[in-house]
Amino acid sequence: MATSERKKREYAQRETLIIDTARDLLLKIGYIDLNMERIAELTEYSKGTIYQHFSCKEEILVEMLIQSAQKCGTFLIRGSQFKGTPRERVAAMILGYDLFVRLNPDHFKSKLLLQNESIRGKASPVFQKNLEKAEQENIGLVYGVLREAVESGHVQLQRGVTIEEITFGLWTGTFGAYVLMFSEVNLKALGISDPRKAVWANIHALLDGFGWHPFFQELNWEQTRNRILNEIFSQESHLAGIV
Amino acid sequence: MATSERKKREYAQRETLIIDTARDLLLKIGYIDLNMERIAELTEYSKGTIYQHFSCKEEILVEMLIQSAQKCGTFLIRGSQFKGTPRERVAAMILGYDLFVRLNPDHFKSKLLLQNESIRGKASPVFQKNLEKAEQENIGLVYGVLREAVESGHVQLQRGVTIEEITFGLWTGTFGAYVLMFSEVNLKALGISDPRKAVWANIHALLDGFGWHPFFQELNWEQTRNRILNEIFSQESHLAGIV
DNA sequence: CATCATAAATGACGTTTAGTCAAATTTTGA
DNA sequence: TCAAAATTTGACTAAACGTCATTTATGATG
């Protein structure tokens, strides 16, 4: 069945086209004004065809986020492979995440929207499950490095704290910061001129606070940061313009 | 002008009625299905009258959030007045915030939505400015206690870290956690059975990491926590069922 | 090449909600 | 009591949603 293979390919291509179009449109006109009619126009397909792929705009957003979460995963994996201590590898993952977010501004736009159950709930359950799975896999990558850190004795878990909870701290500290950065909260007016610098300081204070060796003071982090960017994310850091 | 005073009062009362109705409806049916027609029905006014107060449902949400942000401020203030070290006072503010969020579940629902610029942007600029102001005032309350902590020598700011950045860390660590808790991310599946416990551990690790005395180990926090709840939030902690 | 069955794409249509505004109603104060 | 002012109403237009009968394209077969 050579033809049916081609059909499948064409279907997948069209899906990509729809998502890419929706992504552009989302960044350009925002969620409220985003509509299926316009997506149909721009893709040069009819509304009916668009609805054959996605049941509503929210479902397109979910699929968009699934794809970007998977892409995000590749950045996390690359970060985790940095040659260094577990703490440096976690730092590399966080830097990778930052680069990913910089290069994929649509990620947080759709993420923020779908954080709302009413909006996410419009997508069909299959899509929602897939999204949950994609995001859990990414968290799993962080767990992996933390587990190694505990096993190698770089961190001693104290007072019943679990690696899941430490990950939660890293997660909320970075994710929360991006939510704020991406929502036009006036951080400048609040004295936060460089939120990324603040995140970096906070993440390291957190890890220091959990007694994770080597402590912030014990390492030249400026150097480590440059090594991470050069060795792992050379191309991306140039693309993002952080040299 | 006794009459015009009464009119004003009546107008304000109706505004309250509209907001309360919208709040109930939001919690019941969610953002997507929330609509002006239904709000009009439930308040027993006509659509036109509702539109005299608010230009769209998003504007109602903004006003809802302004009000809850102000109420939140009273919890923060009370927390900051706890008789203890600055660090204990910060902890009291965070506990106060937690109680506030528990008792006002609509707060985060609307907050999350309005984090999206496209949604928030539907409200008129005056409403948006007021919201920004209300939220900045709350952050200002945290700054106040941190400033005292620095002045009293409980924290030494190191390596160019500012109190704004530390506040940002507290903010993202708690706010980020509530965003996740309120968005049906399956935290249980990720091994986070008690996100509030995790937040507490992370906040203290963060403050320890910044060298904020007294360190977590040096205090009986279980006792402090109970004192805060008893002395400052007795009524609220019972209402929230955390005894 | 012609035919026909199947698959895919279309856009008109019914429905819902938004937001407006002229008309109806109520209130005010002389 | 009554006219002017203020308020309320809901009918109406417009926009987007989501459906589905109809049209168009495809490709297998003789």
A152 touches strand C (CB under 7 A): no
User: Chain B within 8 Å of A172 (Cβ-Cβ)?
Assistant: yes
Q: In terms of domains, do A152 and A90 share one?
A: yes
Domain count, chain A: 2
Query: Are the C-beta atoms of residues B36 and B51 closer than 8 Å to each other?
Result: yes
Q: What is the pLDDT of residue A3?
A: 59
Q: Which residues of A touch B216 (CB under 8 A)?
A: 209
Kindly state whether residues A12 and A73 are assigned to the same domain. Answer: no
CA closest to D7 C1', residue: B49
DSSP state of B185: -
Same domain, B49 and B108: no
| Contact between B183 and A31 using a beta-carbon 8 Å cutoff | no
- Positions in chain D where some atom is under 7 Å from a protein CB: 6-11, 15-21, 26-28
* Mean pLDDT calculated for residue range B221-226: 94
Query: Both tokens of residue B62?
Result: 């903004």
Å between CA of A127 and C1' of D4:
61
Q: What is the secondary structure of B49-110 as a DSSP string?
A: HHHHH-SSHHHHHHHHHHHHHHHHHHHHHHHHT-SS-HHHHHHHHHHHHHHHHHH-HHHHHH
* Same domain for B133 and B39: no
The reply to whether A13 Cβ lies less than 7 angstroms from strand C is: no
Contact B180, B173 (CB under 8 A): no
Given 3-state DSSP classes, what are the helix, strand and coil percentages for chain A, each rounded to the nearest 5?
Answer: 75, 0, 25
In tens digits, what is the pLDDT along chain A, a chain of 243 residues? 455 677 778 899 999 999 999 999 999 999 999 999 999 999 999 999 999 999 999 999 999 999 999 999 999 999 999 999 999 999 999 999 999 999 999 999 999 999 999 999 999 999 999 999 999 999 999 999 999 999 999 988 988 899 999 999 999 999 999 999 988 788 998 999 999 999 999 999 999 999 998 899 888 999 999 999 999 999 999 999 987
pLDDT at A5: 73
The residues in B 42-71 lying below 8 A from A, measured between CB atoms, are: none
B3 pLDDT tier (thresholds 50, 70, 90): low
Is strand D within 7 Å of residue B46 (CB)?
Answer: yes
CATH of the domain at B106: 1.10.357.10
Taking contacts as CB-CB distances below 8 angstroms, the residues of chain A near B190 are 136, 139, 164, 168
Q: Does B142 touch chain A (CB under 8 A)?
A: no
Handedness of CA B175, B181, B185, B187 (dihedral sign): positive
Distance separating alpha carbons of residues B141 and A158, to the nearest angstrom: 32
Share of chain B above pLDDT 70, in %: 98
Q: Could you count the other beta carbons within 10 Å of the beta carbon of residue A224?
A: 18
Query: Given CB atoms, is A180 within the 8 Å cutoff of chain B?
Result: yes
Looking at the complex, does the CB of residue A155 fall below 8 Å from at least one CB of chain B? no
d(CA A164, CA A166): 6
Chain-centre distance for alpha carbon A12: 23
The per-residue pLDDT for B227 is 96
pLDDT in the model for residue A9: 84
- Chain B 83-112, CB below 8 Å of chain A: which residues? 109, 112
Residue in this structure with the two tokens 């069945």, named with its chain if needed: A1
Asked if B44 and B62 touch (Cβ cutoff 8 Å), the reply is no
Structure confidence at residue A2 (pLDDT): 52
Give the closest residue to A75 by CA, choosing from A241, A243, A238, A237: A237
Same domain, B123 and B149: yes
Residues B167/B143, Cβ–Cβ less than 8 Å: yes
Q: The domain containing residue B207 runs over which residues?
A: 57-239
Is the same domain home to A128 and A231? yes
Query: Do residues A79 and A228 touch, judged by C-beta distance below 8 A?
Result: yes
Cβ atoms within 10 Å of B224's Cβ, excluding its own: 18
Contacts of A77 (CB under 8 A, 6+ apart): A141
CA neighbor of A194 nearest in space, from B157, B165, B140: B165
Looking at the structure, tell me whether residues B34 and B106 fall in a common domain: no
CA angle B92, B98, B102 (to 5 degrees): 145
Which amino acid is residue B143, in one-letter code?
A: Y
Strand runs (DSSP E) across A63-136, as ranges? none
Residues A226 and A107 in one domain: yes
Residue A1 confidence (pLDDT): 42
Cβ-based contacts of A161 with chain B (< 8 Å): 201
The CA distance from B85 to A127, in Å, is: 49
Q: Which residues fall within 8 angstroms of residue B204, CB to CB, at 6 or more apart?
A: A209, B91, B216, B221
Distance D12 C1' – A56 CA (angstroms): 28
> Coil, helix or strand for A152?
coil
Residues A42 and A90 in one domain: no
CATH (domain of B18): 1.10.10.60
Task: Tell me: do B163 and B46 sit in the same domain.
Answer: no
DSSP per-residue codes, A155-184: ----TT--HHHHHHHHHHHHHHHHHHHTTT
Tens digit of each residue's pLDDT (9 = 90 or more) over B4-38: 777 788 899 999 999 999 999 999 999 999 999 99
Contact B75, B89 (CB under 8 A): no
Residue with smallest Cα–C1' gap to C17: B35
Residues from chain B that touch A165, judged by Cβ atoms under 8 A, are 192, 197-198, 201-202
Among chain A residues, the shortest Cα distance to B114 is held by A183
Query: Looking at the structure, do residues A145 and A26 belong to the same domain, yes or no?
Result: no
Count of positions (residues) in chain A: 243
Nearest CB to A173; choose among B29, B30, B176: B176
Longest CA–CA span in chain A (Å) reads: 63
Give chain B residues 121-140 with Cβ within 7 A of strand C. Answer: 122
Q: Whole-angstrom distance between the N-terminal and C-terminal Cα of chain B?
A: 49
pLDDT at residue B56 is higher than 50? yes
- Distance of residue A199 Cα from the nearest chain B Cα, in angstroms: 7
pLDDT for res B84: 93
**Over the stretch B148-183, which tens digit does the pLDDT of each residue have?**
999 999 989 988 899 999 999 999 999 999 999 988
pLDDT in tens, B112-147: 999 999 999 999 999 999 999 999 999 999 999 999
How distant is the Cα of A186 from the closest Cα of chain B, in angstroms? Answer: 8
Nucleotide nearest to B46 (CA to C1'): D9
Q: Which of A15, A33, A53 is the last residue of a domain?
A: A53
pLDDT of residue B1: 44
CA of A238 vs C1' of C4, distance in Å? Answer: 59
Q: Does B141 contact chain A (CB < 8 Å)?
A: no
Is A30 close to B186, i.e. CB distance below 8 A? no
| Same structural domain, B136 and B183 | yes
Tokens encoding B110: 């609307």
Cβ-defined contact of A180 to B183 (cutoff 8 Å): no
For an interface test with B, give the residue of A147, A190, A203, A216 to mutate (most B CBs within 10 A): A190
**Length A60 CA → D22 C1' (Å):** 27
